[in-house]
């Protein structure tokens, strides 16, 4: 409501007590439909990456692609936050190249063995010295020359600048793209597993972008919402752009 000041405290401080001492990054938390919406990935693509996919072979028999990710609970279809980050990184290749799940899985298997990690794409080590290994491995599998590998590396790096890691090296904050992918843009919307149960919020707060969109749809203007929550109009505007993009 206009006139009510709802300034929010900084909500980036991790507090795992509400998760029973568990790392919220590993808890099943995201439905495939929600995760796909947050990241701008087709639901069918993300479902195949997370749950596997049946397909028809040329001889009429059925084949099966194993999942690309390791879900926290194989009996559920829910993704963890680390799965969300993995999908975000992999989506960079999906947007620029034809993805072959079996070959992408082979490249990821190399990373898992090299880094001894279940979720290598969500680790800081991948960002620092694993990109070249992945690009080389994947590039060879799809017969991409040096020019194509350079293009893949540039796309991956554009995505990796949107992922921040904690001191342990694991992904802790994901800043989804709001405007054109690859452009230098503010990090005004964040998905943080410790804030608002991993829902998209305005960075530095616990204010869900969904709430901003609901108030805007109810008739409040961007300046009104910005004043009510003590935020910049640019932040409120980006929250709306993001919500309109994923709606």
What would the DSSP string read from start to end of 198-213? G-EEETTS--BHHHHH
Q: In this structure, are residues 152 and 138 in contact, taking their beta carbons and an 8 Å threshold?
A: yes
Band the pLDDT of 56: cuts 50, 70, 90. Answer: confident
Mean pLDDT, the chain, whole residue set? 85
What are the pLDDT digits (tens) for 114-162?
889 999 999 988 888 788 888 877 777 666 666 677 777 888 888 999 9
Per residue in 196-226, pLDDT (tens digit) is 999 999 999 999 999 999 999 999 999 999 9
**Per-residue pLDDT for 6 more than 70?**
no
The percentage of the chain sitting over the pLDDT mark of 70, rounded to a whole number, equals 86
Q: Which domains does the chain have, with CATH numbers?
A: 1-23+175-247 (1.10.10.10)
pTM for the whole structure:
0.85
Q: What is the pLDDT of residue 96?
A: 60
**106/201: higher pLDDT:** 201
**77 CB-contact burial (10 Å; exposed 0-12 / middle 13-18 / buried 19+):** middle
pLDDT at residue 174 in the model: 97
Q: Residue 72's pLDDT band (boundaries 50, 70, 90)?
A: very high
């Amino acid at each position: 409501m206009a006139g009510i000041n709802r300034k929010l405290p900084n909500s980036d401080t991790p507090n795992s007590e509400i998760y029973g001492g568990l790392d919220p990054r590993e808890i099943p938390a995201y439905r495939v439909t929600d995760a796909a919406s947050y990241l701008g990935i087709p639901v069918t693509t993300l479902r195949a990456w997370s749950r596997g996919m049946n397909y028809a072979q040329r001889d009429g028999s059925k084949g099966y692609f194993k999942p690309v990710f390791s879900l926290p609970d194989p009996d559920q279809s829910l993704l963890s936050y680390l799965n969300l980050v993995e999908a975000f990184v992999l989506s960079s290749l999906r947007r620029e190249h034809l993805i072959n799940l079996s070959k992408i899985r082979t490249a990821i298997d190399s990373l898992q063995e090299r880094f001894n990690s279940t979720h290598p794409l969500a680790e800081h080590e991948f960002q620092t010295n694993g990109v070249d290994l992945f690009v080389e491995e994947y590039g060879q599998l799809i017969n991409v020359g040096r020019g194509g590998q350079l293009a893949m590396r540039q796309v991956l790096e554009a995505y990796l600048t949107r992922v921040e890691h904690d001191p342990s090296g694991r992904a802790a904050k994901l800043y989804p793209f709001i405007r054109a992918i690859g452009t230098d843009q503010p990090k005004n919307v964040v998905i943080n597993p410790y804030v608002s149960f991993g829902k998209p919020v305005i960075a530095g707060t616990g204010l869900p972008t969904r709430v901003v969109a609901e108030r805007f749809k109810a008739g409040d203007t961007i300046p009104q919402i910005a004043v009510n929550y003590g935020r910049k109009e640019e932040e409120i505007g980006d929250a709306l752009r993001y919500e309109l993009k994923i709606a």
